[in-house]
Structure formats: C-alpha cells, structure tokens
Amino acid sequence: MCPRFYGIPKIHKQPVKMRPIIPCHSAVQIPAAKYVSKKLKPIVQSAPTIIHGTKDLAIKLSKLKLDPRRKFYMVTDDIVAFYPSIPIKKYIDITLDLYYKYYNIKVPGDSAEILMETQIFIKALQVGNEKLIFIYNSQMYEQTRGLAMSVADSPDLANLYSWYFEKSLNIHNHPLIPFYGQYIDDVCAIVYATSENEARTIANTVKFDDCIIEWNVSDQYQVFFRHDAIRR
C-alpha cells in the first residue's frame, strides 16, 4: 500500500497551521521498521530524559525535590515541524552510534553472529526509513527529508535524536535545571532563574541540529502533552 499525503489543521496554533501527514502504517517497509523499534526500545528506556507517557511524568515529578529558597519557572517547548526537520542521513548515523555504544558492538572483534545481527539492524534501519514513497494528487513522490508519521520506529528515532544532543550537553545534570523531560517533540523542564528571560536563556542552551525550538516560560502554569497541565 502506498501512503497518501494529506494535512490536518493545528487549531491550537495562532494563526492556525497545517500538520503534514504521510500515514505509513501499512507501507511495505513497516516490518523492517518494527524490528528496528524493538531493538531500540532498551536504548530509549535507558535514556534518563525521555518520558514514557503521562504516568511516567507524574512519577518523575512526584520524586522531584525543589529548593524552596530559589525561584523557578516551568518551561515547555515547541519544536517547529520536528519530524520533517530531521535529516535522514544524520538521524541514521546518530541511531547507529547509540546502537553500537549501547550493545557494545566492536567491528572487527565481535563474533560472526553479533556482526550478522548488526548488519541486519543496519539494513532494516535503511529499508524502513529511506526512500519512502507516497501519493499526492495522483502523483508518486519520494520523501527525501525527515521521519514519516506512523512508521513503527519513528517515535524511537525522534526520541533518540533528541537524547543524543541532550546527552552531549549533560542536560539531566544541569545545576539550574532540576527537572528535564522529553517526549518526542515535547519538552517539559523546571528551571531555576530570577526572570522569564533568564529561564528562556537557560533553556536555549538545549539545541538539536537542524531544528528550531520555541520555548514557553511561566512561573504559574504550562500545558504539556497537548492537554495535560502542569501547575505550581
């Protein structure tokens, strides 16, 4: 089945914008992407900044101990067109780097079985995410940039793309950020600062290559996971 391109309105935006959708849930490459997702799940679970749903967020926030003597702000982000912004070659290289490190892959040096499994993973990663074809206005096109919606491993790849840069910044140990959590294109953080501008400046130290991040700051209230609210 060849996916068909369409868009849905983002009514929470002012002005209203369109979210491009290429639904690849039934595409021929999906079995390869499912295999990749299965292999990446332990890496995603091991990343301390990644949030695994509303319950996980609530548990992490319940364990948070803030310094009552310091003023803090709640910060959330909006990554502009996150899935389409990620370059294909770059996220594949980043994913392989994290895969090799997590599974302690050594080339050469590992057994033939491990090297074969690694080659299968690499091929599945490429097949599942490169050269995706879709239909728009009765014409066929190839997606040349970004992750596609509904591909089984897209959430894992997006999470790990963010984690790669968060890890390099050691953001989960930042002295002015007592809490930082990320779920695909949503980030929720608590920042020690004396003003909204200072809190936004601190948050701006978080950068993902090829992505534009817009930060929202408040000392009272923030919306996260689109519908969940976080209050003081």
Q: How many percent of the chain have pLDDT more than 90?
A: 59
Q: What is the mean pLDDT of the chain?
A: 88
Top mean-pLDDT range of 11-15, 33-37, 104-108, 183-187 = 33-37
pLDDT of residue 220: 86
Give dist(CA 187, CA 208) in Å, integer.
12
DSSP secondary structure letters along 44-58: HHH-TTB--SHHHHH
Mean pLDDT value of segment 53-78: 92
pTM of the predicted protein model: 0.85
Residue 161: count of CB within 10 angstroms of its CB: 25
pLDDT of residue 223: 72
Question: Looking at per-residue confidence, does 25 or 180 come out higher?
Answer: 180
Q: Residue 178 has what DSSP assignment?
A: S
Buried b (16+ CB within 10 A) or exposed e, 134-149: beeeeeeeebeebbbb
pLDDT band at 14 (very low <50, low <70, confident <90, very high): confident
Please name the residues in contact with 133: beta carbons below 8 A apart, sequence gap of 6 or more: 2, 3, 140, 141, 142, 143
Question: Looking at per-residue confidence, does 122 or 222 come out higher?
Answer: 122
Question: Where do the structural domains in the chain lie, given as residue ranges?
Answer: 6-231
pLDDT of residue 227: 45
Q: Are strands 6-10 and 17-21 parallel, antiparallel or unpaired?
A: antiparallel
pLDDT band at 108 (very low <50, low <70, confident <90, very high): low
Q: How many percent of the chain have pLDDT more than 70?
A: 91
